[in-house]
């Protein structure tokens, strides 16, 4: 498990994260430290900064020296040797209003496993499988590791709803000392149009909002989009298994068959079910790109072992 860089988090509204808001998004606080990673190789902890593998001779703000004394991190990675921890090593940068006891700690924001080349489902060089927050939170808590808790869950959110969460980012800040650096938006079902798992961010520098303390995450559910309702109702396990079996019997099913599977299910739903969902929803206005997005999500839920 050699050193690997963390993904670039894209600004909300750019083409890299277009449509990330469709579905359930977890909104996390963005804290102002230095990006770091930890993994294990042959029983020995390995540590990285944003761009390089760290050594005793070339540490980064004392991070490697600190990690070497953290038995719970070693215990976690010994128990989960395929995991790689990404997080923020909180040392002073631009924002210096964190609580005194918050400094020089590692706050995990993603847990990943390395993806093998044969697992690629598209041409993009996807390096990682990202564990869902609800899954890695339990594993981290078992070993008493610090992590970034979510601020809110927002379903089919608007830009205004996400911006409104900026004022809720007071994680680790001194009372009355304003709000944090920004927020990171993660949709664990989202793959961008270039075939990459990508997160979005909104920074606070241009927003002047008073801080508001939040006692735990909250959830915002917008009304389901008509395209999502149709996808949930008509992307059945039966149609997914039918298409999968046809592909498998034709040329055999391999990872490169996944785009064919997704697009064939979408094609069959449009071809066979259009009249049914038009009649049921009384001639709705449908964005077929959006419908395709939600159908793909449902296929992955119906056949999870393939993804």
* CATH label of the domain that carries residue 64: 3.30.470.30
**Residue 79 resides in a domain:** yes
Quick: pLDDT tens for 15-45.
899 999 999 999 999 999 999 999 999 989 9
Please give the residue range of the domain that contains residue 200.
10-221
Q: How confident is the model at residue 295 (pLDDT cuts 50, 70, 90)?
A: very high
Give the residue from 192, 221, 250 where a domain finishes: 221
Same domain, 133 and 174: yes
Same domain, 73 and 206: yes
pLDDT reading at 117 higher than 60: no
Element (H, E) at 271: helix 258-280
Tell which wins on pLDDT, 219 or 282.
282
Same domain, 241 and 102: no
17: left (phi over 0), alpha (psi -120 to 50) or beta: alpha
Same domain, 172 and 266: no
Cβ(220)–Cβ(153) below 8 Å: yes
Same domain, 39 and 96: yes
**Residue 1 resides in a domain:** no
Quick check: pTM over 0.85? Answer: no
**How far is it, in rounded angstroms, from Cα 138 to Cα 144?**
10
Q: How many domains does the chain have?
A: 2
What residues contact residue 33 under an 8 Å CB cut-off, 6+ apart? 88, 89, 90, 91, 93, 107
Element (H, E) at 205: none
Q: How confident is the model at residue 100 (pLDDT cuts 50, 70, 90)?
A: very high
Residue in 280, 157, 268 with CA at minimum distance from that of residue 219: 157
């Amino acid at each position: 498990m050699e050193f690997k860089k963390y993904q670039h988090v894209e600004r909300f509204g750019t083409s890299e994260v277009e449509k990330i808001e469709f579905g359930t998004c977890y909104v996390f606080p963005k804290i102002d430290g230095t990006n770091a990673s930890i993994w294990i190789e042959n029983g020995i902890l390995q540590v990285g900064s944003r761009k390089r593998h760290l050594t005793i001779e070339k540490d980064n703000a004392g991070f490697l020296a600190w990690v070497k004394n953290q038995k719970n991190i070693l215990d976690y990675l010994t128990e989960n040797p395929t995991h790689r921890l990404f997080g923020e090593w909180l040392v002073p940068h631009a924002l210096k209003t964190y609580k005194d006891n918050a400094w020089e700690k590692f706050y995990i924001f993603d847990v990943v496993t390395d993806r093998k080349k044969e697992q690629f489902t598209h041409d993009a060089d996807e390096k990682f499988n990202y564990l869902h927050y609800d899954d890695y939170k339990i594993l981290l808590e078992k070993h008493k590791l610090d992590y970034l808790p979510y601020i809110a869950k927002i379903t089919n959110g608007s830009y205004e709803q996400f911006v409104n969460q900026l004022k809720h980012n007071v994680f680790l800040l001194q009372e009355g000392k304003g709000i944090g650096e920004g927020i990171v938006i993660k949709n664990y079902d989202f793959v961008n149009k270039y075939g990459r798992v990508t997160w979005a961010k909104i920074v606070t520098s241009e927003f002047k909002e008073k801080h508001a303390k939040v006692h735990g995450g909250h959830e915002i559910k917008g009304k389901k989009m008509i395209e999502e309702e149709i996808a949930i109702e008509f992307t059945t396990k039966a149609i997914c298994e039918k298409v999968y079996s046809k592909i498998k019997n034709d040329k055999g099913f391999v990872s490169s068959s996944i785009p064919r599977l997704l697009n064939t299910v979408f094609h069959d739903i449009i071809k066979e079910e259009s009249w049914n969902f038009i009649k049921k929803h009384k001639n709705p206005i449908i964005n077929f790109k959006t419908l395709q997005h939600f159908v793909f999500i449902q296929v992955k839920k119906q056949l999870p072992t393939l993804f």
